[in-house]
Chain A
Amino acid sequence: MSNVKLLIRAIRYKFDSLRDNRDSDARDFTREKVSSLFRIFNHPIDTFSDLKFENKASVTISLILLALFFLTRLLDANLTALLFNSGSQENVLVDSFVYTVGLVIVWVVCNWATCTLANGEGTFGNIWIATTYSVLPYCLMTWLSIGLSYMLSLDESVMFTTLRGIGVLWSMILLFLGMMISHQYTVLKTIVSVFLTLVMIVFCIFLIVIIYSIVLQMWDFGFSIFSEIMS
């Protein structure tokens, strides 16, 4: 447990040094910071500028949100009622991790890599905060839909899918606004940057797959030499 605390502290320290240093409030988890998370529902644009400029961002909250994102995905796979749960139950843990934490990391890295080249003002920390904060509507709507799935029959499945759709759409709009404000872009420029980021992500995944299989083959090669020598 202490290891986790140390890790969080280390990450927090790293982000603190990245952050705008006007107000060096040492505490990361304060009431103002938590309230600004909930303000994201009614005043998303103000909230994102607060996160960037007013030192309202909290790494702790961002990590909690990321964990919630992962948890939501897990709950979705395991708890959604039978009628609406079409996914297979194999590799749920790994799949969920890759599709939440992995996706956020790849998104943040790729967005940072593209936008720093395109005069984006967002730091790595800004992008990380904006991305993790914007998953909240998705999580809430998914929880609601999981609860609802126990009360609906197939005929009413449109309610379930609509709720899901609203959650995803809302989160995507928040992500879009977050990117726009973090980088101080115009709408058009944000659209282009998002598109470029997506292209970058595809490229990254391709590279990751190739590196993974190369490592696998090298391991195989090394192992066969090892067993050849030992036998």
Chain B
Amino acid sequence: MKRMRTLVVSLIVLALLSNFTVLALEKNSNYQYDDEGNSRSAPESYTDKSVWRAQDLGLVALNNPTDLDIDDDGNLYIADSGNSRILVLSEDWSLQKQIASVFINGEEENLSEPQGVFMGPDGLLYICDTGNARVIAIDNNHVVQRLILGNDLASVKDSYEFKPERVSVDSLGNVYVVSSAVYQGIMRFSTDNAFAGFFAPNSVEKSLSTVLMSLWKKFFTDAQKDAIEKNLPDPYNNIFIDSDDFIYATAQAGEGNDLKKLNLEETNILGSAHQTSAGGRFGDLEAVIDDDTVTKTALVDVHVDEDGFVTVIDSSTNRVYQYTQECDLVAIFGGSGEDRDQFLQITAIEKRGSDYLILDGSRGSISVFAPTEVTENIRYALSLYNQGSYSEAEAYWAKVLQENNNMILAYRGIGRAALQQGDYVRAMEFFDRGDDDYFYSMAFKEYRKAFVRQNMLALLVGVVSVVFILIFCLKMIRGYLQTGRWKLVKR
């Protein structure tokens, strides 16, 4: 009987796990995902250029750094929380200044474990002074110009502790703060530094197990209810505000909640109707099963550049994933390990010029990744494509396909160019390979229209004769079945 039970259990487990496939490719090779979410090998997308450490400048090594930011002049801000300082480096990696203390009302106060740093559009440097439970904005002379305290929050919840971890500011001066273990959403502070409410709370995950648990809870005592894990929405862990004031937010949450692009109405507008079937899922699509635990995607930072490319980092695989605004995958790079192009604990990402700067919190280093030729071609092609210049983009797509014939976007791009040029057969072929039903159908309709117009007479004659032959054959068969001889019978 026991064997039977283990069998049934293992059957159920198998059925549940059959959704996942084990990553087929070697872990450290370059890959990307096709339309169905299967990994395919791909050429290197970003290559590591250099690695920077604080020791290079004769400084104390970074200790648990958590956040990066880059201002318009290319200066780099590092929140070195373990050393309670902010490092400011100019574009040539020389030290500009170290901020360890600030002036509040003329008095000098030390920073305590600052975890977030952001250069605001107003020229003030916003710092999450996490250990002191406040967010401050300082000017060039380290004088605090804005001070945000979590005082108002006591009215929301008694036992509330304000632990700001990431901060970002929109063009109007509203401050958005992600605080540790706050599941009600992103905290928004208005220009007068007052708490203006929670922004875009994540929804509670609804699954069979949560529904069953809520049923079970009806039979529990209060003590039991307190003891079990509460089913709360997943808290955000990082935010990014783009030049149009759209807020990108990441969370260690399930599908559809892990990366959001929020407008001012707090709705998620990431993706589009024509995205790939694997779209809307970020990070590794094939789960890696190690020691019976499934590695879940855990996004920790997001960066969106001026061309709209969304780059996220996943702390579970230590990889970087780049997407278009339509959630189509562009590049994957990085990985766990000791190599130069790998990370021990990927923590934050920023972009300077065309290079991505990636902070490794465990190693205390910043790696610089530059796009390879393929990736640059993809980016050129996509920006032309997004402007509607499909024919101009075609040459770049062709170059991409020479290097990487698994690139779905390239097939679609060439398909769009062919559609624009009126070459419908070629368009259909490329939309077939790019697995784009919508535009395949559009090309097919045009093709059908042209075909019917050209062969109108032949089609008409063909259809009529086929119908007559069919009727004749059926009547003959009926005659045979009724009389036993091959002849027509009249009713």
Contacts and interface: CB of A to CB of B under 8 A. Distances in A.
Interface centre among B448, B480, B481, B484 (most CB of A within 10 A): B481
Interface string A28-60: 000100110010000000000000000000000
Contact of A154 (B7, B432, B441, B481): B441
Given A31-B484, A35-B481, A35-B482, A210 B444 contact: no
Contact of B11 (A151, A154, A213): A213
B449 to A, nearest CB: 10
Interface string B433-472: 0000110111011001000000000000000000000000
Q: What's the interface size class on B, roughly?
A: 10 to 19
A210 B8 CA distance: 8
A214 B481 CA distance: 52
A23 interface: no
Q: What's the interface size class on A, roughly?
A: 10 to 19
B436 to A, nearest CB: 11
Nearest to B438: A154
Contacts of A155: 441, 445
Contacts of B440: 82-83
A55 to B, nearest CB: 17
Interface centre among B432, B438, B445, B478 (most CB of A within 10 A): B445
A153 B480 contact: no
A34 B482 CA distance: 10
A31 B441 contact: no
B385 to A, nearest CB: 22
B186 to A, nearest CB: 39
A194 B8 CA distance: 28
A214 B8 CA distance: 11
Nearest to A81: B444
Contact of A83 (B444, B478, B484): B444
Contacts of A153: 441-442, 444-445, 448
A153 B441 CA distance: 5
A34 B7 CA distance: 49
Contact of B481 (A34, A83, A210): A34
Q: DSSP class of B's interface residues: helix, strand, loop or mixed?
A: helix
Given A82-B432, A210-B7, A213-B7, A154 B437 contact: yes
Nearest to B435: A82
A209 interface: yes
Interface in A112-140: none
Contact of B437 (A38, A83, A151, A213): A83
Interface string A194-216: 00000000000000011001100
A138 B440 CA distance: 28
B285 to A, nearest CB: 16
Interface centre among A35, A154, A210 (most CB of B within 10 A): A154
A209 B8 CA distance: 10
A153 B431 CA distance: 14
A200 B13 CA distance: 24
A82 B439 CA distance: 13
Nearest to A214: B7
A66 to B, nearest CB: 21
Given A83-B441, A153-B444, A209-B11, 19 more contacts: A31-B480, A31-B484, A34-B481, A35-B478, A35-B482, A82-B440, A83-B437, A151-B448, A153-B441, A153-B448, A154-B437, A154-B438, A155-B441, A210-B7, A210-B8, A210-B11, A213-B7, A214-B7, A217-B7
8 contacts: A31-B481, A34-B481, A35-B481, A35-B482, A38-B481, A210-B7, A213-B7, A213-B11
